Amino acid sequence: MQERIVITGMGTVNPLGLSVKESWENAIAGRSGVGPITLFDSSPLQVHIAAEAKDFNPEDFMDAKEARRRDRFEQFAIAAARQALTQSGLEITEKNAGRIGVIISSAIGGLQSLQDATLTNYKEGPRRVSPFLIPMLMANGGAGMAAIEFGVKGPCFSVASACASGADGIGAALMMLRTGMIDAAITGASEATITSTGVAAFDRVGAMSRRNDDYSTTPQPFDRNRDGLVMGEGAAVLVLERESSAKARGAEIFAELAGYGATADAFHVTAPHEHGEGGAAAMLMALSSAEANADELGYINAHGTGTMLNDQAETRAVKAAFGDLAYKLPISSTKSMTGHMMGATGALEAIFCVQVVREGILPPTINYETPDPECDLDYVPNEARAAKVSLAISNAFGFGGHNAVLAVRKYP
């Protein structure tokens, strides 16, 4: 039997809060993080709402000088990683630094920095472009900056697989821990795409809700009247360790990261496979990786974006994977509250799965009003629900047909 990989630290910055505790309390209360965009003037656009990480001050987590040299997504990454490391109590020394990995992913990287530099280049010329632009925009910036910040010298990289990036990065860390390549990992994802370019681009794809005057009712995952996703931002980071290492240093263990599955639809650049075949295969792969049977599963944190195509395809994927059992499985979309944090979504939702197995309560899918005949499963509508869950999975499905699923088991 393979050694357990356990979670000893968690940190997050997201639209529901600037810590795991605050975020979880708001999720269980069914509070929405959606509101009018304040990060830029959205008046030229058709979308004026987003889920921002409100009241975030990077100087609460890092030196002011360094904060100015980092894109917002990198600031989020450092903040979440610092929280996770502090909670874990993992001390990084010259002796163990090379045995610790940093895998903090991002689908897009420093979009605001790239946008600003492009405008500067055209308006003021190339000599006015910041010499810090490259480290601010590169998608591996969160991982690289975290390694520098905390003195970690093991494997360091970022995974870019659209909205599956966070889950895929955590899965990669799990695999490296299982093979003995490293003893611990600081892993998760960060994203800051609430910019005029980011919002305009996703709106042009036809993916965004335009319910600007009634933003408290959107997004509506799995609801018949859903009209698209709401863009979110933030970061979530986990500290993973081999069980023997965590026990040896007396660490508190919050849950086991038990399994990981990943597939590709090979179908369409933005749309999921209509029958959910890739998603179904990834869910079953995650259970196999966890050495678990389907009847052990007690909860699914859905990708649940609130777009017409995603929610139908994911519902079909759950049915394809679990048959009649699908109708007994509670499923919720926490994106109904956080918005869609793009590459960072899978990492935050993995943390929510940890909280589910620890505390025995399921976060709701808010804004659920009108059932859709094509989406006929149990979506934990509008109110949190008590439930004993020993095994939960988190789905992360991304543009390009990327499917990544993480399995979290109650510990011990």
Task: Give the phi and the psi of residue 397 in degrees, each rounded to 5.
Answer: -120, 130
The β-bridge partners of 409 are: 256, 391
Distance CA 230, CA 147 (A): 31
Distance CA 69, CA 71 (A): 7
DSSP state letter for 326: G
Concerning whether 268 is annotated as a catalytic residue, the answer is no
**Contacts of 331 by beta carbon, 8 Å cutoff, 6+ apart:** 299, 300, 301, 302, 304, 318, 365, 377, 378, 379, 380
DSSP state letter for 163: B
Concerning whether 353 is annotated as a catalytic residue, the answer is no
Distance CA 263, CA 212 (A): 35
> Element (H or E) spanning 301, and its range?
strand 299-301
Distance CA 262, CA 406 (A): 9
CA distances from 246 to 89, 228, 353 (A): 10, 42, 20
Task: Return the closest-CA partner of residue 345 out of 212, 164, 198, 169.
Answer: 164
- Give all strands (DSSP E) within 176-254, no chain letters: 184-191, 234-242
Check 156, 273, 340, 353 and give the catalytic one: 340
Distance CA 191, CA 71 (A): 10
Per DSSP, the chain holds a count of helices (H) and strands (E) of 13, 14
Q: Report the alpha-carbon angle 19-167-108, nearest 5.
A: 85
DSSP state letter for 274: T
Check 48, 273, 275, 303 and give the catalytic one: 303
Concerning whether 156 is annotated as a catalytic residue, the answer is no
Active-site annotation, residues: 163, 303, 340
